[in-house]
Amino acid sequence: MACLLETPIRMSVLSEVTASSRHYVDRLFDPDPQKVLQGVIDMKNAVIGNNKQKANLIVLGAVPRLLYLLQQETSSTELKTECAVVLGSLAMGTENNVKSLLDCHIIPALLQGLLSPDLKFIEACLRCLRTIFTSPVTPEELLYTDATVIPHLMALLSRSRYTQEYICQIFSHCCKGPDHQTILFNHGAVQNIAHLLTSVSYKVRMQALKCFSVLAFENPQVSMTLVNVLVDGELLPQIFVKMLQRDKPIEMQLTSAKCLTYMCRAGAIRTDDNCIVLKLDHDLKHAHELRQAAFKLYASLGANDEDIRKKIIETENMMDRIVTGLSESSVKVRLAAVRCLHSLSRSVQQLRTSFQDHAVWKPLMKVLQNAPDEILVVASSMLCNLLLEFSPSKEPILESGAVELLCGLTQSENPALRVNGIWALMNMAFQAEQKIKADILRSLSTEQLFRLLSDSDLNVLMKTLGLLRNLLSTRPHIDKIMSTHGKQIMQAVTLILEGEHNIEVKEQTLCILANIADGTTAKELIMTNDDILQKIKYYMGHSHVKLQLAAMFCISNLIWNEEEGSQERQDKLRDMGIVDILHKLSQSPDSNLCDKAKTALQQYLA
């Protein structure tokens, strides 16, 4: 019944929140213009950095009223400007906020505001338009619906550095294809924006540069025009080359490099043009450093955030660039590219889609064939992710000889490589066919398996036990493997249970025994081994519940009365005192252990 109280409580909290926001909206309807203005200013201060408040005000109907005041002829310019500022702040919230603003037809209202003679109001409208048009939920076509808008925006470029920054940013985000490029080009975008590349404002220069990048992309007409444009006596290509210099911000260097690349591709600049070749040759090492830095940054950004990983992968040509980085001549760039892909491979969704679409496993396998240890460690760690059961890359990786490669890694002197090698094999063996399991055991060899089980590195030991556990799953597989490797496996299990190992290691080992006990014929290897049976009995009475539970699984699988020979096994275990221990465990304060003991006792009563 307590759960039923949750809904009213939430509704009550919501009512309180919206009630606290309502007075902001109510003040917009005050007959006194000064009070309305003060109400809008107070609303502006309340929504800054507060997404909940923004959402509440939208729900309460603030947007239609703000738009009404913004368009009303009787509203003062100050009031209109403040309304545009609040609307811009609301647009900086969530994508749902932007959708709500679009539903209220905010764009036509703001575009109408650009006809005002007041510069501050124009800048506020442009700032809001910039925020809305740079949102992924806003259709770019809304900028081109009215044929008078683009020429008016071109005219506003001369008004201030803010109009220049915002308009260029709008153009660069809303130019998404040849049709848009043609419209902007025909309305004098090249001539109107070119001089902004020498602006004293870095933001203006950067947004102007981005405009040229999107205008020149796969567009020979624009590229051919750019070559001959003069700005303060210098040709545009020379200005772009200057922007490649190392003392310029990385963003500027990369964007100017894009502009020059697009112009070269269009044939507007010869690839042997001295001013470019000399510059690019001089900056080749620096370009490597830039790519390395970019890949490192993407790796860090995507490490723990699924949304950011998605955005990186969905960026145009980004996966192609990262994959190309795997074959770079620079070891540092290759390492950074692998790290970036490893970070992105943490996404289940991307493993199923983008990583398969770009066949990332192919260049990765090449990297693993011959690379320094520092690259091998990251590449093999990434391979572990690509071998998870839901990854479509798993099958082609198996067919490309991954088993031998990974078994080779388990013999490395580098413990990180041994861990990754055995970890990848563990993932490969999970719910695998019998043939794959047999290939793993054959390639690894029982001798190497024993070496790994006695490895001084705890991670290697745990992953090796995990591999054994995955190999010994599914009854026919358990029986098959134990029929050929049973003696060695039982010997290894005995050594670990007798050794000085932590709880987790012994729990994994007992779980392997529980899997063996689930086999049809394999369970006899336990029943005929009194030493192992005594160890299971010992761990049933251990002080740690995890070990007791794992030992209980062994016993349950051995005595299950629906299986052949269960009576004989039950009798033998009763004679060992197992039933007495089960009675004791059925009184355990741990509910899980108690239930398992009671279930096992029922097998004796059935």
pLDDT confidence bin for 264, thresholds 50/70/90: confident
Q: How many CB atoms lie within 10 A of CB 388?
A: 17
Q: Does 156 score more than 90 pLDDT?
A: yes
Which two three-digit tokens encode residue 193? 């924006």
Q: Which helix (H) or strand (E) holds 288?
A: helix 284-302
User: Using CA atoms, how far apart are residues 86 and 83, in angstroms rounded to an integer?
Assistant: 5
**One-letter amino acid of 115:** L
Residue 230 confidence (pLDDT): 92
User: Using CA atoms, how far apart are residues 211 and 467, in angstroms rounded to an integer?
Assistant: 54
pLDDT confidence bin for 48, thresholds 50/70/90: confident
User: Using CA atoms, how far apart are residues 175 and 217, in angstroms rounded to an integer?
Assistant: 10
Long-range contacts of 584-592 (CB under 8 A, 24+ apart): 585/540, 585/548, 585/552, 588/548, 590/545, 592/545, 592/549
Written as one string, the DSSP assignment of 392-412 is TTHHHHHHTTHHHHHHHHTT-
Q: Does 39 score more than 70 pLDDT?
A: yes
Q: Does 7 score more than 80 pLDDT?
A: no
Which whole number is the average pLDDT over 146-158?
A: 96
Mean pLDDT of the chain: 89
Task: Please name each of the domains of the chain with its CATH number.
Answer: 492-605 (1.25.10.10)
Q: How many CB atoms lie within 10 A of CB 568?
A: 10
pLDDT digit string, tens, across residues 163-176: 999 999 999 999 99
Q: Which residues contact 357 (CB under 8 A, 6 or more apart)?
A: 319
CB–CB of 241/252 below 8 Å? no
User: Using CA atoms, how far apart are residues 209 and 352, in angstroms rounded to an integer?
Assistant: 36
Q: Which residues contact 278 (CB under 8 A, 6 or more apart)?
A: none
User: Using CA atoms, how far apart are residues 294 and 309, in angstroms rounded to an integer?
Assistant: 14
Helix axes 51-59, 95-103, angle to 10 degrees: 30
User: Using CA atoms, how far apart are residues 46 and 66, in angstroms rounded to an integer?
Assistant: 15
Which whole number is the average pLDDT over 64-70?
A: 96
Residue 515 confidence (pLDDT): 96
Residue 534 confidence (pLDDT): 96
Q: How many CB atoms lie within 10 A of CB 269?
A: 21
pLDDT confidence bin for 353, thresholds 50/70/90: confident
Which two three-digit tokens encode residue 591? 């509910």
Q: Does 11 score more than 50 pLDDT?
A: no
Percent of the chain with pLDDT over 90: 68
Q: Name which of 69, 30, 23, 65 is nearest 46 in CA terms.
A: 23
Q: Name which of 309, 297, 299 is nearest 378 in CA terms.
A: 299
Which two three-digit tokens encode residue 201? 């404002």
Q: Which helix (H) or strand (E) holds 423?
A: helix 415-429
Which whole number is the average pLDDT over 214-236?
A: 92
Higher pLDDT, 116 or 256: 116
Q: Name which of 179, 177, 175 is nearest 153 in CA terms.
A: 175
Q: What residues pair up with 235 in beta bridges, in sequence order?
A: 230
| DSSP code of residue 230 | E
Written as one string, the DSSP assignment of 10-41 is HHHHHHHHHHHHHHHHHGGG-SSHHHHHHHHH
User: Using CA atoms, how far apart are residues 46 and 48, in angstroms rounded to an integer?
Assistant: 6
pLDDT confidence bin for 277, thresholds 50/70/90: very low
Q: Does 41 score more than 50 pLDDT?
A: yes
Which two three-digit tokens encode residue 208? 């102007």
Pairing of strands 234-235, 230-231: antiparallel
CB–CB of 98/138 below 8 Å? yes
Q: Does residue 533 sit in helix, strand or coil?
A: helix
User: Using CA atoms, how far apart are residues 80 and 208, in angstroms rounded to an integer?
Assistant: 28
Residue 103 confidence (pLDDT): 95
429: Cα within 13 Å, side-chain hemisphere: 30
Q: Would you say how long the chain is, in residues?
A: 606
Q: Name which of 451, 400, 456, 450 is nearest 428 in CA terms.
A: 400
pLDDT digit string, tens, across residues 377-413: 999 999 999 999 888 989 999 999 899 999 999 999 9
Q: Which residues contact 426 (CB under 8 A, 6 or more apart)?
A: 463, 466, 467, 470
The percent of the chain in helix, strand and coil, each rounded to the nearest 5, is 75, 0, 25
Which whole number is the average pLDDT over 250-255?
A: 86
Which two three-digit tokens encode residue 63? 């947007």
Q: Which helix (H) or strand (E) holds 235?
A: strand 234-235
Q: How far are the Cα atoms of 11, 460, 485 from residue 436, in angstroms, in the given order?
A: 56, 21, 16
From its phi and psi, is residue 445 left (phi > 0), alpha (psi between -120 and 50) or beta?
A: left
